Chain A
Amino acid sequence: MALVQIDNVSKIYQTGEVQVKALQDVTLSIDEASFVTFVGPSGSGKTTMLNLIGCLDKPTKGKVFIGKEQVDTFDRRRRATFRGSTLGFIFQAFNLFQVLTTYENVEYPLVMIKNESVSKRKEMVLKVLESVGMLNQKDKFPDQLSGGQKQRVAVARALVTQPKLVLADEPTANLDKKSAVNVIRLMRNMRDEFNTTFIFSTHDPGVMKEAEVIHTLEDGRLV
């Protein structure tokens, strides 16, 4: 069953008088609990695709469905609520909050978005930290962790709200090869454990082969 449905989507950026066609007439669907990657060279539209699926941006043309919701029609506030309730994000530069410990970083969405009780929060955070193998680092701040550990914390933060879909834009770009493969394998294990759909972008061949479904983009078109 399709979790993500993209119908004839185009995205055009206007920079002064120059138009940049980031995506052109893309149609695709992504099944629930799948492990999908978008690949392609720089400027091929990978990040734009993830931004549209992640409700961070709106298409110039076409429709984006996640589950039964047509998310491209949502206003700013509804998109924020939807992101908090349905989606998880992993970023290339980890984007952990520097002033929060590992535990607090993972707890952040439960406090600021989900408003879970203290006991429930603790249970959820410890469970996900254990799953990503970071329980013993829970009191450390991001600047005390290695790149691979930071990304593990980011994976935990993305999963702690039990989202239907996790989006990761070049999650391994700042990691060495070994750490990169480990993070991708962790994401796949998490997919198996939590039954969450993972969509990520990469241009690393070593990472690509870990994906189950590969969509290739070139000049904003699916090939």
Chain B
Amino acid sequence: MIRIFKIALRNLMRYRRRTLLTSMLITLGLLMVILFSGLAGSFKEMMIGQITDSNLAQMQIHKKGYVASIDTSPLNLTINQKCYKTLEKVLKENPDVEAYAPRIKLSAMLSNFKETTNIRLNAIDPEKEIKVCPNVSERMKFSGSQVPDILLKPGEIIIPEKLAAGMKIKIGDSVVLVANNKDGSVNGLNFTVAGIIESILGPQGKEGYMHIKDAESLLRMENPEVIEIALRIKKFDKLNYVYTELKSALAEFKNTKGKAAFEIHTWEKLSPFSNIATMIEIMTVSMKIIMIAIVLISILNVMMMSVYERVREIGTMSAIGTAPGKIMGLFLAEGLSLGLISTLAGNIIGIFGIYILNIYKIQFAFGRMDDLLLSPTISFSELVWVSAIVLMVSVFASLQPAYKASKMEPVDALGHV
């Protein structure tokens, strides 16, 4: 076997320029895939992290039908205290759930005593929310440079930056919130602006924050109710597994009509970025397909030429008794060696390229988010997978020429001019 590869390598070196050009082409294809996968993958992970860790959470549980009518912020689809306790039990029993937090989502009128506008609010339990969305405070500006120990106290509100700029509201100002409860009666409360929050991509990206106790008062809830339970799991790569487990656990709870009482969604169902993430994955796959085409065509071309140029040599091998399988093996080894050399070069240059990109981080803006820094990374498994594709395609591309060589009749091949 070693001898076969030794002969294969020497045959590759026999046509140095051709081997070098083909190898460079494959290396370039592999390099493009590694860099694109690294950049696109990091962009996707960063954006998902931004969305789930600072705003949306990884999963959300609602009363059945809430997400379908989310635009109207319905207040009649609430989870009462009894149901909340039951759901808490389900979540606590699941070992993959790291944290959960209750939320009330509402629309209200915000007034600075001069102007009034509508605002969507996310009423949270700050201590629990920070465990579900650990980066939520990164989007917030407070009076000091430090994030306060408690994100939000009762009587405080954090308002979106665009709204604050439009209404000239500053931190420390007093504002009034007026909201309708689910029965239609109106209530108003005074709040102090504790912070200002940057917008983020997605349906909940332009919401302000208030304390859940204040929301209960504003909405005149006699008994505590929640609209949403936000979830964080221990390992993000188990998202779909945990989702399936929780979905089947929740399916056991029925409403009075005998239908499912609750619904659970992953971030993918809640954020439009999931479509962009899918597009990124499609583009990554497209890059891989282009790379496969490059490898396939270049190795097929080289091996075809190699066979046509060495007909007499193949005839000699065959005449002196080399088995057809070994002749085939020689040419397959040649294609595989070419793929292997190119894969090694592509991986080394690709990893170096990723390293360089990490030194000179790429700064970019996405939607209303500025100053995002991209730190591309590529996993070892991704490198192994891409390398394996190149090697498999190299062998596949060599199959036809190698088969042709092994099937040559020695008497015809020796007489070839």
A–B complex contacts, Cβ < 8 Å, 26 sampled: A54-B319, A56-B319, A56-B411, A56-B414, A77-B323, A80-B318, A80-B321, A80-B322, A80-B324, A81-B323, A82-B321, A83-B321, A84-B323, A89-B320, A93-B312, A95-B313, A95-B316, A97-B7, A97-B313, A99-B14, A100-B7, A111-B3, A112-B3, A113-B320, A113-B321, A113-B322
Whether B322 and A84, one on each chain, are in contact in the complex, defined by CB atoms closer than 8 angstroms, is yes
Q: Whole-angstrom distance between the alpha carbons of A91 and B3 in the complex?
A: 24
Give the distance to chain B from A122, nearest Cβ to Cβ, in Å.
Answer: 14
Whether B414 and A81, one on each chain, are in contact in the complex, defined by CB atoms closer than 8 angstroms, is no
B11 within 8 A of A: yes
Number of interface residues, chain B, beta carbon within 8 A? 23
Interface mask (A100-115 → B, CB under 8 Å = 1, otherwise 0): 1000000011011100
Whether B321 and A85, one on each chain, are in contact in the complex, defined by CB atoms closer than 8 angstroms, is yes
Give the distance to chain B from A41, nearest Cβ to Cβ, in Å.
Answer: 18
Residues in B313-345 with C-beta less than 8 Å from chain A: 313, 315-324, 326
Q: Whole-angstrom distance between the alpha carbons of A202 and B323 in the complex?
A: 29
Known A56-B411, A99-B10; contact A157-B320, beta-carbon cutoff 8 A: yes
Cβ contacts under 8 Å, A81 to chain B: 321, 323
Cβ contacts under 8 Å, A91 to chain B: 316, 414
Give the distance to chain B from A140, nearest Cβ to Cβ, in Å.
Answer: 15
Whether B10 and A100, one on each chain, are in contact in the complex, defined by CB atoms closer than 8 angstroms, is yes
Shortest Cβ distance from A98 into B: residue:
B14
Cβ contacts under 8 Å, A98 to chain B: 14, 313
Cβ contacts under 8 Å, B317 to chain A: 112
Give the distance to chain B from A101, nearest Cβ to Cβ, in Å.
Answer: 10
Give the distance to chain B from A85, nearest Cβ to Cβ, in Å.
Answer: 7
Interface residues of B (CB under 8 A from A): 3, 7, 10-11, 13-14, 312-313, 315-324, 326, 409-411, 414
Cβ contacts under 8 Å, A153 to chain B: none
A57 within 8 A of B: yes
Whether B320 and A109, one on each chain, are in contact in the complex, defined by CB atoms closer than 8 angstroms, is yes
Whether A57 and B321, one on each chain, are in contact in the complex, defined by CB atoms closer than 8 angstroms, is no
8 closest A-B pairs (Cβ-Cβ)? A84-B321, A99-B10, A83-B321, A95-B316, A56-B411, A57-B411, A113-B321, A56-B410
Shortest Cβ distance from A97 into B: residue:
B313
Cβ contacts under 8 Å, A84 to chain B: 320-323
Known A56-B411, A57-B411, A99-B7; contact A112-B316, beta-carbon cutoff 8 A: no
Interface residues on A, range: 20 to 34
Q: Whole-angstrom distance between the alpha carbons of A82 and B319 in the complex?
A: 10
Q: Secondary structure at chain B's binding surface: helix, strand, loop or mixed?
A: helix
Q: Whole-angstrom distance between the alpha carbons of A77 and B13 in the complex?
A: 31
Q: Whole-angstrom distance between the alpha carbons of A157 and B316 in the complex?
A: 12
A76 within 8 A of B: yes
Interface mask (A43-58 → B, CB under 8 Å = 1, otherwise 0): 0000000010010110
Cβ contacts under 8 Å, B411 to chain A: 51, 56-57
Give the distance to chain B from A131, nearest Cβ to Cβ, in Å.
Answer: 19
Known: A80-B322, A83-B321, A89-B316. 12 other contacts (CB 8 A): A56-B409, A80-B318, A82-B321, A83-B319, A83-B320, A88-B320, A97-B316, A98-B313, A99-B11, A108-B320, A112-B3, A158-B320
Cβ contacts under 8 Å, A95 to chain B: 312-313, 315-316, 414
Shortest Cβ distance from A48 into B: residue:
B411
Shortest Cβ distance from A87 into B: residue:
B321
Q: Whole-angstrom distance between the alpha carbons of A127 and B315 in the complex?
A: 27
Q: Whole-angstrom distance between the alpha carbons of A97 and B330 in the complex?
A: 13
Q: Whole-angstrom distance between the alpha carbons of A93 and B312 in the complex?
A: 10
Give the distance to chain B from A205, nearest Cβ to Cβ, in Å.
Answer: 25
Shortest Cβ distance from B10 into A: residue:
A99
Known A56-B414, A57-B411; contact A109-B7, beta-carbon cutoff 8 A: no
Known A51-B411, A95-B312; contact A80-B3, beta-carbon cutoff 8 A: no
Cβ contacts under 8 Å, A99 to chain B: 7, 10-11, 13-14
Q: Whole-angstrom distance between the alpha carbons of A167 and B323 in the complex?
A: 19
Give the distance to chain A from B252, nearest Cβ to Cβ, in Å.
Answer: 66
Cβ contacts under 8 Å, B324 to chain A: 76-77, 80
Cβ contacts under 8 Å, B313 to chain A: 95, 97-98
Q: Whole-angstrom distance between the alpha carbons of A54 and B409 in the complex?
A: 13
Cβ contacts under 8 Å, B13 to chain A: 99
Cβ contacts under 8 Å, A82 to chain B: 321
Residues in A52-89 with C-beta less than 8 Å from chain B: 54, 56-57, 76-77, 80-85, 87-89
Cβ contacts under 8 Å, B312 to chain A: 93, 95
Q: Whole-angstrom distance between the alpha carbons of A179 and B50 in the complex?
A: 82
Shortest Cβ distance from B325 into A: residue:
A77
Q: Whole-angstrom distance between the alpha carbons of A141 and B10 in the complex?
A: 12
Cβ contacts under 8 Å, A93 to chain B: 312
Cβ contacts under 8 Å, B7 to chain A: 97, 99-100
Interface mask (A131-172 → B, CB under 8 Å = 1, otherwise 0): 000000000000000000000000001100000000000000
Shortest Cβ distance from B13 into A: residue:
A99
Give the distance to chain A from B383, nearest Cβ to Cβ, in Å.
Answer: 32
Shortest Cβ distance from B14 into A: residue:
A99
Q: Whole-angstrom distance between the alpha carbons of A54 and B321 in the complex?
A: 11
